[in-house]
Protein backbone atom coordinates (compact mmCIF):
# COMPACT_ATOMS: atom_id res chain seq x y z
CA UNK A 1 0.00 0.00 0.00
CA UNK A 2 1.21 3.40 -0.85
CA UNK A 3 0.28 5.55 2.15
CA UNK A 4 2.64 7.57 4.36
CA UNK A 5 1.81 9.34 7.63
CA UNK A 6 0.93 12.61 5.93
CA UNK A 7 -1.12 10.94 3.21
CA UNK A 8 1.53 11.06 0.47
CA UNK A 9 2.50 8.14 -1.69
CA UNK A 10 6.02 6.74 -1.59
CA UNK A 11 7.06 8.77 -4.65
CA UNK A 12 5.32 12.07 -3.90
CA UNK A 13 7.12 15.26 -3.03
CA UNK A 14 5.81 17.82 -0.60
CA UNK A 15 4.52 21.02 -2.12
CA UNK A 16 7.54 23.13 -3.06
CA UNK A 17 7.79 26.89 -3.46
CA UNK A 18 10.61 28.23 -5.62
CA UNK A 19 11.51 31.84 -6.23
CA UNK A 20 14.55 33.29 -7.98
CA UNK A 21 16.30 36.65 -7.87
CA UNK A 22 15.63 37.29 -4.19
CA UNK A 23 19.06 38.66 -3.22
CA UNK A 24 19.81 41.83 -5.14
CA UNK A 25 23.59 42.00 -4.88
CA UNK A 26 24.32 38.56 -6.26
CA UNK A 27 24.62 37.45 -9.86
CA UNK A 28 21.89 34.90 -9.29
CA UNK A 29 19.89 33.62 -6.33
CA UNK A 30 17.02 31.33 -5.49
CA UNK A 31 14.96 30.36 -2.47
CA UNK A 32 13.30 26.98 -2.13
CA UNK A 33 10.75 25.98 0.49
CA UNK A 34 10.05 22.24 0.50
CA UNK A 35 7.57 21.63 3.32
CA UNK A 36 9.50 22.70 6.42
CA UNK A 37 12.92 22.82 4.70
CA UNK A 38 14.03 26.31 3.68
CA UNK A 39 17.11 26.91 1.50
CA UNK A 40 18.59 30.14 0.14
CA UNK A 41 21.27 30.02 -2.58
CA UNK A 42 23.28 32.97 -3.84
CA UNK A 43 25.74 32.87 -6.74
CA UNK A 44 28.44 35.47 -7.26
CA UNK A 45 30.51 35.54 -10.42
CA UNK A 46 34.06 36.78 -9.96
CA UNK A 47 37.11 36.80 -12.15
CA UNK A 48 39.94 34.47 -11.38
CA UNK A 49 42.67 32.40 -12.94
CA UNK A 50 41.73 29.06 -14.41
CA UNK A 51 42.94 25.84 -12.87
CA UNK A 52 46.23 24.51 -14.25
CA UNK A 53 44.82 21.26 -15.60
CA UNK A 54 41.85 22.93 -17.27
CA UNK A 55 43.19 26.23 -18.68
CA UNK A 56 40.26 27.05 -20.92
CA UNK A 57 37.42 26.50 -18.47
CA UNK A 58 35.93 28.34 -15.54
CA UNK A 59 34.84 26.51 -12.37
CA UNK A 60 32.33 26.47 -9.53
CA UNK A 61 33.08 26.74 -5.81
CA UNK A 62 30.52 25.59 -3.26
CA UNK A 63 30.15 26.76 0.30
CA UNK A 64 27.37 25.62 2.63
CA UNK A 65 26.43 27.41 5.85
CA UNK A 66 24.13 25.74 8.37
CA UNK A 67 24.61 27.98 11.37
CA UNK A 68 21.16 29.54 11.35
CA UNK A 69 19.48 26.22 11.97
CA UNK A 70 19.62 25.36 15.65
CA UNK A 71 21.80 26.28 18.63
CA UNK A 72 23.84 23.09 18.32
CA UNK A 73 24.80 23.98 14.74
CA UNK A 74 25.94 27.49 15.57
CA UNK A 75 29.55 28.46 14.95
CA UNK A 76 31.81 25.43 14.44
CA UNK A 77 29.09 22.87 15.08
CA UNK A 78 27.56 23.11 11.63
CA UNK A 79 30.90 22.80 9.88
CA UNK A 80 30.79 19.02 9.57
CA UNK A 81 27.35 19.02 8.03
CA UNK A 82 28.31 21.96 5.82
CA UNK A 83 31.47 20.35 4.42
CA UNK A 84 29.55 17.11 3.90
CA UNK A 85 26.94 18.84 1.78
CA UNK A 86 29.59 20.87 -0.09
CA UNK A 87 31.55 17.71 -0.96
CA UNK A 88 28.40 16.06 -2.23
CA UNK A 89 27.72 19.07 -4.44
CA UNK A 90 31.27 18.99 -5.81
CA UNK A 91 30.78 15.34 -6.66
CA UNK A 92 27.44 15.92 -8.35
CA UNK A 93 28.82 18.74 -10.47
CA UNK A 94 32.07 16.97 -11.27
CA UNK A 95 30.47 15.46 -14.35
CA UNK A 96 31.86 16.98 -17.53
CA UNK A 97 28.67 18.20 -19.15
CA UNK A 98 26.63 19.49 -16.25
CA UNK A 99 27.57 23.11 -16.63
CA UNK A 100 29.15 24.48 -19.78
CA UNK A 101 32.43 25.56 -18.18
CA UNK A 102 34.03 26.62 -21.46
CA UNK A 103 31.58 29.50 -21.73
CA UNK A 104 33.00 30.79 -18.46
CA UNK A 105 36.42 31.29 -19.97
CA UNK A 106 37.56 34.80 -20.87
CA UNK A 107 41.22 34.36 -21.72
CA UNK A 108 42.65 30.86 -21.78
CA UNK A 109 45.24 30.35 -19.04
CA UNK A 110 44.77 33.87 -17.72
CA UNK A 111 41.21 34.87 -16.91
CA UNK A 112 38.05 33.01 -16.35
CA UNK A 113 34.81 33.36 -14.45
CA UNK A 114 34.59 31.60 -11.09
CA UNK A 115 31.07 31.03 -9.80
CA UNK A 116 30.95 31.05 -5.99
CA UNK A 117 27.81 29.21 -4.97
CA UNK A 118 26.78 29.95 -1.37
CA UNK A 119 24.08 27.80 0.16
CA UNK A 120 22.32 28.93 3.32
CA UNK A 121 20.28 26.42 5.27
CA UNK A 122 17.52 28.48 6.85
CA UNK A 123 15.47 25.62 8.25
CA UNK A 124 15.98 21.88 8.17
CA UNK A 125 12.81 19.87 7.84
CA UNK A 126 14.09 16.71 6.23
CA UNK A 127 15.43 16.10 2.71
CA UNK A 128 17.94 18.95 2.55
CA UNK A 129 19.94 17.53 -0.38
CA UNK A 130 17.01 17.58 -2.78
CA UNK A 131 16.02 21.10 -1.81
CA UNK A 132 19.62 22.34 -2.12
CA UNK A 133 20.03 20.87 -5.60
CA UNK A 134 16.73 22.39 -6.75
CA UNK A 135 17.80 25.76 -5.37
CA UNK A 136 21.24 25.55 -7.02
CA UNK A 137 19.66 24.72 -10.38
CA UNK A 138 17.18 27.60 -10.06
CA UNK A 139 19.95 30.00 -9.03
CA UNK A 140 22.15 28.93 -11.96
CA UNK A 141 19.21 29.54 -14.28
CA UNK A 142 18.85 32.99 -12.78
CA UNK A 143 22.57 33.88 -12.93
CA UNK A 144 23.49 36.75 -15.17
CA UNK A 145 27.21 37.09 -15.89
CA UNK A 146 28.22 40.41 -17.43
CA UNK A 147 29.83 40.27 -20.85
CA UNK A 148 33.48 41.31 -20.97
CA UNK A 149 35.77 42.14 -23.82
CA UNK A 150 39.51 41.75 -23.75
CA UNK A 151 41.45 44.60 -25.36
CA UNK A 152 45.09 44.25 -26.21
CA UNK A 153 47.42 47.22 -26.06
CA UNK A 154 50.44 47.79 -28.25
CA UNK A 155 52.83 46.54 -25.55
CA UNK A 156 50.80 43.38 -25.18
CA UNK A 157 49.13 44.13 -21.84
CA UNK A 158 45.58 42.95 -21.79
CA UNK A 159 42.77 45.06 -20.46
CA UNK A 160 39.38 43.80 -19.55
CA UNK A 161 36.44 45.98 -20.40
CA UNK A 162 33.02 45.53 -18.91
CA UNK A 163 30.17 46.35 -21.23
CA UNK A 164 28.25 49.46 -20.27
CA UNK A 165 24.79 48.03 -20.58
CA UNK A 166 23.83 46.32 -17.28
CA UNK A 167 21.39 44.02 -19.07
CA UNK A 168 24.00 42.75 -21.53
CA UNK A 169 24.94 39.46 -19.95
CA UNK A 170 25.41 35.81 -20.63
CA UNK A 171 23.05 33.25 -19.17
CA UNK A 172 23.94 29.68 -18.35
CA UNK A 173 22.34 26.69 -19.95
CA UNK A 174 20.94 24.57 -17.14
CA UNK A 175 19.50 21.73 -19.20
CA UNK A 176 22.19 19.32 -18.10
CA UNK A 177 22.38 20.42 -14.47
CA UNK A 178 21.52 17.40 -12.31
CA UNK A 179 19.17 17.35 -9.36
CA UNK A 180 19.65 15.14 -6.33
CA UNK A 181 16.92 12.66 -5.42
CA UNK A 182 17.19 11.15 -1.96
CA UNK A 183 15.64 7.73 -1.51
CA UNK A 184 15.35 6.60 2.11
CA UNK A 185 14.84 2.95 2.95
CA UNK A 186 12.19 2.38 5.61
CA UNK A 187 11.40 -1.24 6.33
CA UNK A 188 11.03 -2.97 2.98
CA UNK A 189 10.03 0.07 0.93
CA UNK A 190 11.85 3.20 -0.06
CA UNK A 191 10.40 6.71 0.00
CA UNK A 192 11.22 9.96 -1.72
CA UNK A 193 11.36 13.27 0.14
CA UNK A 194 11.44 12.04 3.71
CA UNK A 195 10.35 14.29 6.57
CA UNK A 196 12.44 14.56 9.74
CA UNK A 197 10.46 11.77 11.42
CA UNK A 198 10.81 9.51 8.40
CA UNK A 199 14.55 10.19 8.25
CA UNK A 200 14.83 9.16 11.90
CA UNK A 201 13.20 5.82 11.04
CA UNK A 202 15.28 5.06 7.97
CA UNK A 203 18.59 3.27 8.39
CA UNK A 204 20.06 3.87 4.95
CA UNK A 205 19.50 6.30 2.09
CA UNK A 206 20.70 6.61 -1.45
CA UNK A 207 21.48 10.00 -2.98
CA UNK A 208 21.21 9.91 -6.77
CA UNK A 209 21.86 12.90 -8.99
CA UNK A 210 19.75 12.73 -12.13
CA UNK A 211 19.74 15.01 -15.17
CA UNK A 212 16.59 16.07 -16.94
CA UNK A 213 17.04 13.31 -19.51
CA UNK A 214 17.21 10.65 -16.83
CA UNK A 215 20.95 10.07 -16.86
CA UNK A 216 22.49 9.34 -13.46
CA UNK A 217 25.64 11.36 -12.85
CA UNK A 218 26.59 10.29 -9.34
CA UNK A 219 25.43 8.11 -6.50
CA UNK A 220 26.15 8.13 -2.81
CA UNK A 221 24.94 5.96 0.03
CA UNK A 222 24.47 7.51 3.46
CA UNK A 223 23.37 6.00 6.72
CA UNK A 224 24.60 3.27 8.99
CA UNK A 225 22.37 0.49 7.65
CA UNK A 226 23.10 -1.75 4.70
CA UNK A 227 21.37 -1.89 1.35
CA UNK A 228 20.64 -5.03 -0.61
CA UNK A 229 21.96 -4.88 -4.22
CA UNK A 230 18.44 -5.73 -5.52
CA UNK A 231 16.92 -2.81 -3.69
CA UNK A 232 19.66 -0.52 -4.99
CA UNK A 233 18.56 -1.26 -8.57
CA UNK A 234 14.93 -0.60 -7.66
CA UNK A 235 15.86 2.64 -5.94
CA UNK A 236 17.89 3.75 -8.96
CA UNK A 237 14.94 3.19 -11.26
CA UNK A 238 12.63 5.08 -8.93
CA UNK A 239 15.19 7.86 -8.70
CA UNK A 240 15.37 8.21 -12.48
CA UNK A 241 11.61 8.36 -12.81
CA UNK A 242 11.14 10.83 -9.99
CA UNK A 243 14.12 12.91 -11.13
CA UNK A 244 12.68 13.36 -14.61
CA UNK A 245 9.34 14.62 -13.32
CA UNK A 246 11.17 16.87 -10.84
CA UNK A 247 13.13 18.50 -13.68
CA UNK A 248 10.00 18.97 -15.78
CA UNK A 249 8.12 20.65 -12.94
CA UNK A 250 11.09 22.88 -12.05
CA UNK A 251 11.75 23.95 -15.62
CA UNK A 252 8.09 24.77 -16.15
CA UNK A 253 8.08 26.91 -13.02
CA UNK A 254 11.32 28.72 -13.95
CA UNK A 255 9.99 29.50 -17.42
CA UNK A 256 6.73 30.73 -15.94
CA UNK A 257 8.55 33.02 -13.54
CA UNK A 258 10.80 34.30 -16.33
CA UNK A 259 7.88 35.12 -18.57
CA UNK A 260 5.93 36.93 -15.87
CA UNK A 261 8.89 39.31 -15.53
CA UNK A 262 8.61 42.19 -13.10
CA UNK A 263 4.82 42.19 -12.98
CA UNK A 264 4.72 39.62 -10.17
CA UNK A 265 5.37 40.97 -6.65
CA UNK A 266 8.37 39.29 -5.07
CA UNK A 267 7.98 37.57 -1.73
CA UNK A 268 11.68 37.45 -0.93
CA UNK A 269 13.35 35.43 1.76
CA UNK A 270 11.82 37.22 4.72
CA UNK A 271 8.27 36.33 3.71
Partner 1 sequence: MAAVTMRLPAVRAPLSSGAPRGGEKHLVAPGDTITTDTGYMRGHGTYVEDDKLIASVAGVVEKVNKLVCVRALKARYNGEIGDIVVGRITEVQQKRWKVETNSRLDSVLLLSSINLPGGELRRKSAEDELAMRDYLQEGDLISAEVQSIFSDGAVSLHTRSLKYGKLAQGVLVQVSPSLVKRQKTHFHDLPCGASVILGNNGFIWIYPTAEQKEDEAGGYTTNLEPVPLSDREVISRLRNCIVALVTHKMMLFDTSILYCYEASLPHQIKDILKPEVTEEIVLEARQRLLDSEG
Q: Does 271 bind partner 1 (CB under 8 A)?
A: yes
Provide the edge-to-edge strand list for the sheet that holds 179-186.
189-192, 179-186, 204-210, 216-222
Q: Residue 200 interacts with partner 1 (CB under 8 A)?
A: no
139 in contact with partner 1 (CB under 8 A): no
Residues 225 and 227: their CA atoms lie apart, in Å, by: 7
Would you say 126 and 119 are in contact if contact means Cβ atoms under 8 Å apart? no
| Only segment of 49-57, 95-103, 148-156, 244-252 that touches partner 1 (CB under 8 A) | 244-252
With CB under 8 A as the contact rule, which of the stretches 12-20, 63-71, 115-123, 201-209 interacts with partner 1?
Answer: 12-20
* Interstrand relation of 189-192 and 204-210 (parallel, antiparallel or unpaired): unpaired
Give the interface segment with partner 1, choosing from 51-59, 117-125, 224-232, 251-259 (CB under 8 A): 251-259
Does 17 sit near partner 1 (CB under 8 A)?
yes
Specify whether the CB–CB gap between 28 and 40 falls below 8 A. Answer: no
Choose between 16 and 85: whose C-beta lies nearer to partner 1.
16
Residues in a beta bridge with 115: 45, 60
The three-state DSSP-derived secondary structure of 196-210 is HHHHHHCCEEEEEEE
Q: Does 264 bind partner 1 (CB under 8 A)?
A: yes
How far, in Å, CA of 212 to CA of 214, rounded?
A: 5
> Cβ distance 154 to 97 under 8 Å?
no
Which of 41, 135, 60 has its CA nearest to residue 101?
A: 60
**Contact between residue 266 and residue 22 where contact means Cβ atoms under 8 Å apart:** yes
- 141 touching partner 1, by CB under 8 A: no
Smallest distance from the beta carbon of 265 to partner 1, in angstroms? 7
39 interacts with partner 1 by CB under 8 A: no
19 binds partner 1 (CB under 8 A): yes
Q: CB of residue 206 vs partner 1: minimum separation in angstroms?
A: 16
**Interface with partner 1, residue 18, by CB under 8 A:** yes
Q: Would you count residue 12 as binding partner 1 (CB under 8 A)?
A: yes
Q: Decide: is 192 part of the binding site for partner 1 (CB under 8 A).
A: yes
Q: What are phi and psi of 64, to 5 degrees?
A: -115, 135
Binding stretches for partner 1 (CB under 8 A): 1, 3-9, 11-19, 31, 33, 35, 192, 241-242, 245-246, 248-250, 252-253, 256-257, 264-265, 267, 271
Amino acid sequence: EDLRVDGRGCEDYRCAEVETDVVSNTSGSARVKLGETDILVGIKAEMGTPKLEKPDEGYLEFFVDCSSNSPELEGRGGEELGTDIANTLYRVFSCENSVDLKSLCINPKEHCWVLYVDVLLLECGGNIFDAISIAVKAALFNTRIPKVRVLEDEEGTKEIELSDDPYDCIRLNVDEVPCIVTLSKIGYRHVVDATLQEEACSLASLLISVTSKGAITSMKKVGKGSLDPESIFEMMETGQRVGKSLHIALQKLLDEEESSGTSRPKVGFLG
